[in-house]
Amino acid sequence: MEAPFEATTWDGITGAIFTGYGSVEGFWLALCLAFVVAAIILGWRHEKHAYEAAKSKH
């Protein structure tokens, strides 16, 4: 990972520092979003199956 500043020491560095600067944040964000979408789809399919199974028993 790269630092968002050119200083060689911590002297004079102030404010918040994002340690992921210059890395592959977009990849990890896309991966997390894909997992969320997969969880929603799989949960929806499971609930639909469970609802139909409960409905057919009555």
Q: State the Cα–Cα distance between residues 45 and 52, nearest whole angstrom.
A: 11
Distance CA 42, CA 38 (A): 6
What is residue 13's DSSP assignment?
A: -
- Compute the distance between CA of residue 34 and CA of residue 42 in angstroms, rounded to an integer: 12
Q: What distance in Å separates the CA atoms of residue 27 and residue 13, rounded to the nearest whole number?
A: 28
* pTM of the model as a whole: 0.55
pLDDT for the residue 3: 62
pLDDT tens column, 2-52: 566 677 777 877 777 766 666 778 888 899 999 999 999 999 999 999 998
